[in-house]
Structure 1
Amino acid sequence: MNFQHTEDRRMLADSLNRFMAEQYGFDVRDRIARSEEGYSRDMWRRFCELGIVGAFFDESAGGFGGDGFDIAVVFEALGRGLVVEPFLDALIVGRALAYAGNDRQREIVAKMIDGAAIAAFAHDEPGSHYELARVTARAARRGDGWVLNGAKGVVRQGEHADVLLVSARTSSGEHDQAGISLFVVPREAKGVHVRGYRMIDGGRAAEVLLEDVTLDADTLVGDEGAGFGTLEQAVGYGLVALASEAVGAMDVAKEHTLEYLRTRKQFGVPIGTFQALQHRMADVLLEIEQARSAAINAAAAVGGAGVERERALSAAKYSIGRIGARVAEESIQLHGGIGMTWELALSHYAKRLVMIDHQLGDEDHHLARYIELGRAPAA
């Protein structure tokens, strides 16, 4: 299989990297990440003008990409820039609506592509432990519509999103794959209570409480009770995005650490000449290449289906979690005490690598999932 990027993908990556180098340097990113909003609506629109969100979808959804490698190219670049704008949620929500949404819901995808709308993925719940099918929020029919009740946690940019994609159970038990339904919920809808807070790796997230939220019938995404398949499809692309973002962040952490080893001197010589440090750095470089291979494998598999797809995705997320933590630790230690300081960009890359492990399932969760899927018959 040819893993070389097409010319269109290379051009998109070059445009994105150039834009971030000129307009989204670390000082700008740090100011945005620490702002009251936790992101920049203006930057969101400017990124979208480059075609970033359009690369997430195929032509039928109004985009020009949609392949796993289209997404990988974009998120690797976003990882290099530590971008805090909510592109992961745009990808997951957009893929879900493109996959199962009605015409009105697919208009939201078009608005995100244009930079005119922001959507947030409201699925995780307190105590869900990353289990995709563990949903306790409830949706009940009322007349021609629905009433939602429940709580969602760590909803990134939940304070500022125009709409939320909310999972709720319409039947079956709280651990069952069957009976999960998805709804498009306006953030300003009556009964939606949002409490925002700052994230340790930059930006903001929110706890969302749903109290008797009344919705129209056409807010249901796809068929009633059939939301798990849509979630699995959309979250799979999110895992590819996170793996690729982590690779981009690792590359920058590597570059900063190598530069420090070449310039920091002890006993009159660069510390990079010390054999012990050379061995540690060589191990880091090998681990990063393994992470890159896992991300490539996930991007190649995400367009498939069944057990092979899910195992490749979990393998990549496990690898990224384990390797990301090691790269973060080694980069900081090789920098010495300065590696922990807020003023040094490296410390922010290290925090982001650690936090990526906790999005959409950490390494322990995905290792267990990989083993469990290995026991299942191939689809």
Structure 2
Amino acid sequence: MDFSYSQEQKMLRESAAKFALKGYGFERYKSALQLPGHCDLAIWSQMSEFGWLGLPLPEDAGGLGGSALDVSLVCEAMGAGMVLEPYVAGAVLPGRLLSLCSADATLLSALAEGKAQLAVGWAELGSAEDPAYCTTRAQVEGDAYVISGRKQCVLNAPNAATLLVSARTAGDDHDEAGISLFAVNAGSAGLELKPYPLMGGGYAADIRLDKVRVEKAGRIGAEGAGFAPLEAALDYATVAACAQALGAMNALLERTGNYLKVRKQFGTPIGSFQVLQHRLVDMFVEVEQSRSMVMMSSVRVESTEPAVRRRAVSAAKAYLGQSSKFVAQQSVQLHGGIGVTEELDVGHYFRQLTAFGSLYGSREHHLRRFARAPNA
């Protein structure tokens, strides 16, 4: 099997790396932390001009029809460059969900052109990270649906003009069947958002829907058939988040290696001490094994076999959940006290990778999911 990148993918990777490392950087990251929603709209427009917002979208909706591996290459560069704008939560996840539901091209085109940010609300209190658990209800009243319920930790909701929300139109709370998806205007009557910042940057919100009316045209996909595309889109976003974590891990490896060359103790660089060289090698091994897992899951996340997709994605997330923690902790320890200061980017990478551990499902959740999935 050929694991090399195509010429187009090499160009995509190089352009993304150039933007993230030279056009963005730590100073721009810190300035973005001071902006509402931790999002610079000028950067978002640039992403649209580069074609990245439309990368995972079908061509007939104004997208580029890129693969999950293409998206991962961009995400890896963004993770290395500490790009704070919500590319995965605001573009990759909702874009993939709309594409899988064969949604109207209007929302997809607006997303690809950078004219609208979206957010996906699916998690609920007590869901145990399972998208099938849904107590939010949608009932038909005349020519509209009336939705009531709560969603928690909706990533990028404070920046979104439209929320893609799961609600149950049939079945019991834990049933996969009976879940429908709706596009809800963020300014709808009866919709309440409680926004809050996330560790490592970005914003989320808890959402309360109190008899929110959505026209029938606002339903996305077939009624009661929303679970399959929602789960597949979440898997797609999980792989993208893993690629971002890989970029951050590799950046920490490089920074730590450089620091060990210049930091001196007893008149000699501490990188010359064999015990520290061994720790750096351990970091390198974890980064390279994580790279293999990201590449594998990027290929298999688009499989038409749900079991293949689930095992690959959960294996990658479970592995990187552990390896990212190891690399981040080693980097901080090898830097010493300066590793946790605000002035050095190492501590900020550490926060982002710590937050990644529970993003789109914890390591424990994905280990259980991996064990349940049949070995296809």
User: Which residue pairs with 2:284 in the alignment?
Assistant: 285
User: Which residue pairs with 2:96 in the alignment?
Assistant: 95
User: Which residue pairs with 1:271 in the alignment?
Assistant: 270
Matches of residues 174-185 of structure 1 in structure 2 within 5 Å? 174-185=173-184
User: Which residue pairs with 2:17 in the alignment?
Assistant: 17
Does residue 230 in structure 1 map to residue 234 in structure 2? no
**Hey, what's the Cα distance between the residues in 1 that align with 2:74 and 2:60?**
20
**Hey, what's the Cα distance between the residues in 1 that align with 2:350 and 2:67?**
29
Shift of 1:357: 1.7
User: Which residue pairs with 1:330 in the alignment?
Assistant: 330
**Hey, what's the Cα distance between the residues in 2 that align with 1:27 and 1:190?**
39
Cα-to-partner distance string for 1:210-256 (whole Å, 9 max, x where unaligned): 11100100111111111001112211211210111111111101011
Cα-to-partner distance string for 1:53-112 (whole Å, 9 max, x where unaligned): 122123233222331211111111111112221211211111111121432xx2111111
**Hey, what's the Cα distance between the residues in 1 that align with 2:64 and 2:332?**
39
- Is the partner of 1:24 in helix, strand or coil? helix
User: Which residue pairs with 1:216 in the alignment?
Assistant: 215
Shift of 1:21: 3.1
Shift of 1:377: 6.6
User: Which residue pairs with 1:86 in the alignment?
Assistant: 86
**Hey, what's the Cα distance between the residues in 2 that align with 1:175 and 1:56?**
30
User: Which residue pairs with 2:260 in the alignment?
Assistant: 261
**Hey, what's the Cα distance between the residues in 1 that align with 2:135 and 2:234?**
19
User: Which residue pairs with 1:77 in the alignment?
Assistant: 77
Does residue 129 in structure 1 map to residue 107 in structure 2? no
- Is the partner of 1:56 in helix, strand or coil? coil
Q: Does the CA contact (< 8 Å) of 1:34 and 1:202 recur in 2?
A: no
**Hey, what's the Cα distance between the residues in 2 that align with 1:148 and 1:129?**
22
- Is the partner of 1:183 in helix, strand or coil? strand
Stretch moving more, 149-158 or 358-367: 149-158
Code of the aligned partner of 1:188: G
TM-score (norm 1): 0.96
Shift of 1:267: 0.4
**Hey, what's the Cα distance between the residues in 2 that align with 1:108 and 1:297?**
30
Q: Does the CA contact (< 8 Å) of 1:71 and 1:240 recur in 2?
A: no
Unaligned ranges ≥5, structure 2: none
User: Which residue pairs with 1:117 in the alignment?
Assistant: 116
Code of the aligned partner of 1:49: E
- Is the partner of 2:54 in helix, strand or coil? helix
Change (3 A) 1:336 1:152: same
TM-score (norm 2): 0.96
Q: Does the CA contact (< 8 Å) of 2:25 and 2:83 recur in 1?
A: no
User: Which residue pairs with 1:49 in the alignment?
Assistant: 49
Cα RMSD between the aligned structures?
A: 1.3
Code of the aligned partner of 2:318: Y
User: Which residue pairs with 1:139 in the alignment?
Assistant: 138
**Hey, what's the Cα distance between the residues in 2 that align with 1:353 and 1:218?**
39
User: Which residue pairs with 1:40 in the alignment?
Assistant: 40
Cα-to-partner distance string for 1:96-151 (whole Å, 9 max, x where unaligned): 11121432xx2111111111110011111122221121111111111121011111
**Hey, what's the Cα distance between the residues in 1 that align with 2:195 and 2:342?**
23
Unaligned ranges ≥5, structure 1: none
User: Which residue pairs with 1:190 in the alignment?
Assistant: 189
Q: Does the CA contact (< 8 Å) of 2:21 and 2:80 recur in 1?
A: no
Code of the aligned partner of 2:275: A
**Hey, what's the Cα distance between the residues in 2 that align with 1:313 and 1:97?**
20
**Hey, what's the Cα distance between the residues in 2 that align with 1:70 and 1:122?**
25
